[in-house]
């Protein structure tokens, strides 16, 4: 795709967005629909560990959790992926072999993005060679905020080439973009540069994902689909810690993009703590009793 015509991007009505989002949060969800939504949310989660204190053992524990979430519950789906730093991709790949759970890796000097293109490409190439099914890159926010939009576009397009068959999720770090208009502009640049997914945040700064930001990005995806016929995925990440909030996101997703996007191939949650709350809600639906939060593993 060629560089988008940024002059044609519609201005964002912040109050209008907030009003629309407030309606999604007021939708009543019946029990059968809630159970379906909880199963769907679980299948869309990328379990993640991205800390300086990560070890092989911690990654192995997270992979074990990813494959053993069900407990006493029958018929639960697997999570979508486990996301780790590039140096742990091989460990995760081995632990998840045969599970159907993807391995995602961050790259491009995550989370700051402050490095040379050479380093970023090397970072990405290493993750892919180690076996990453998905790559979560960060854009150069400093360049974007300086108005160097072609630089951001070219960098994403070059990383996409290195990804090969691995799917590319482009993290905008929306908490640093200041305005919803910037979020929309960055979304368009990322999609036209070759993103398979656009993602809100690294989870390392506040605010991370918010519903207004996600709504703007969903509408960018809708307009891109109308213009190109290509479906782009969406991943809100950071701050989505409860099943109630996740269901509100799914209501927003369905009413904005429709049923075609209601699957893990086109929507993900970057929120490891969400898995435990979803499991608690499902246990409650089955038994009528809330389990203690300590009943579920944290890693």
Span of 65-74, 209-218, 248-257 with lowest mean pLDDT: 65-74
Residue 29 has what pLDDT?
87
Structure tokens at 69: 């979430």
**For 212, phi and psi rounded to 5 degrees?**
-60, -45
Tokens 């996301």, residue? Answer: 83
Asked, for residue 295, whether it belongs to a domain, the answer is no
* Cβ within 8 Å of residue 233, ≥6 positions away: 167, 169, 196, 197, 198, 261, 265, 266, 267, 268
Residue 290 has what pLDDT?
53
Minimal CA–CA distance to 155: which of 3, 7, 268? 3
Exactly one of 199, 254, 264, 277 is catalytic; name it: 199
Rounded to the nearest integer, the mean pLDDT of the chain is 93
The boundaries of the domain holding residue 262 are: 6-287
Asked, for residue 208, whether it belongs to a domain, the answer is yes
> What's the farthest any 2 CA atoms get from each other in the chain?
55
Residue 68 has what pLDDT?
86
Say how many domains are in the chain. 1
Asked, for residue 237, whether it belongs to a domain, the answer is yes
Asked, for residue 60, whether it belongs to a domain, the answer is yes
Start-end of H helices in 44-195:
56-67, 89-95, 117-129, 141-145, 149-163, 180-193
Residue 71 has what pLDDT?
64
**Is residue 199 annotated as a catalytic residue, yes or no?**
yes
Asked, for residue 297, whether it belongs to a domain, the answer is no
Residue 291 has what pLDDT?
53
Looking at the chain, the whole-number percentage of residues with pLDDT higher than 70 is 95
Residue 34 has what pLDDT?
92
**Is residue 30 annotated as a catalytic residue, yes or no?**
no
Which CATH number belongs to the domain containing residue 125 in this structure? 3.20.20.70
**Is residue 178 annotated as a catalytic residue, yes or no?**
no
Asked, for residue 114, whether it belongs to a domain, the answer is yes
Residue 295 has what pLDDT?
44
Tens digits of residue pLDDT in 159-189: 999 999 999 999 999 999 999 999 999 999 9
Exactly one of 65, 93, 120, 136 is catalytic; name it: 136
Asked, for residue 274, whether it belongs to a domain, the answer is yes
Exactly one of 235, 254, 264, 277 is catalytic; name it: 235
Asked, for residue 296, whether it belongs to a domain, the answer is no
């Amino acid at each position: 795709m060629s560089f988008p015509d940024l002059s044609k991007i519609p201005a964002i009505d912040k109050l209008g967005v907030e009003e629309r989002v407030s309606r999604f949060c007021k939708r009543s969800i019946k029990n059968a629909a809630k159970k379906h939504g909880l199963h769907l949310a679980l299948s869309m989660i990328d379990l993640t560990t991205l800390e300086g204190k990560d070890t092989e053992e911690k990654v192995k524990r997270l992979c074990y959790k990813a494959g053993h979430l069900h407990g006493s519950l029958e018929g639960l789906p697997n999570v979508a992926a486990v996301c780790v730093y590039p140096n742990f991709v091989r460990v995760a790949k081995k632990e998840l072999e045969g599970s159907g759970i993807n391995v995602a890796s961050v790259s491009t000097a995550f989370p700051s993005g402050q490095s040379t293109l050479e380093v970023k490409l090397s970072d990405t190439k290493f993750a892919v060679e180690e076996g990453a099914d998905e790559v979560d890159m960060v854009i150069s926010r400093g360049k974007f905020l300086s108005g160097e939009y072609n630089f951001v576009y070219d960098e994403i397009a070059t990383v996409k080439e290195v990804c090969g068959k691995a799917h590319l999720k482009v993290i905008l770090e929306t908490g640093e973009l200041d305005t919803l208009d910037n979020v929309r502009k960055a979304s368009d640049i990322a999609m036209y540069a070759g993103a398979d997914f656009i993602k809100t945040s690294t989870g390392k700064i506040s605010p991370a994902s918010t519903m207004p930001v996600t709504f703007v990005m969903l509408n960018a995806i809708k307009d891109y689909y109308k213009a190109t016929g290509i479906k782009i995925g969406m991943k809100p990440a950071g701050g989505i810690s409860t099943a109630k909030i996740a269901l509100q996101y799914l209501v927003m997703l369905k009413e904005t993009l429709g049923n075609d996007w209601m699957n893990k191939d086109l929507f993900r949650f970057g929120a490891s703590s969400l898995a435990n709350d979803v499991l608690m809600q499902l246990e409650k639906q089955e038994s009528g009793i809330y389990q203690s939060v300590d009943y579920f593993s944290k890693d």
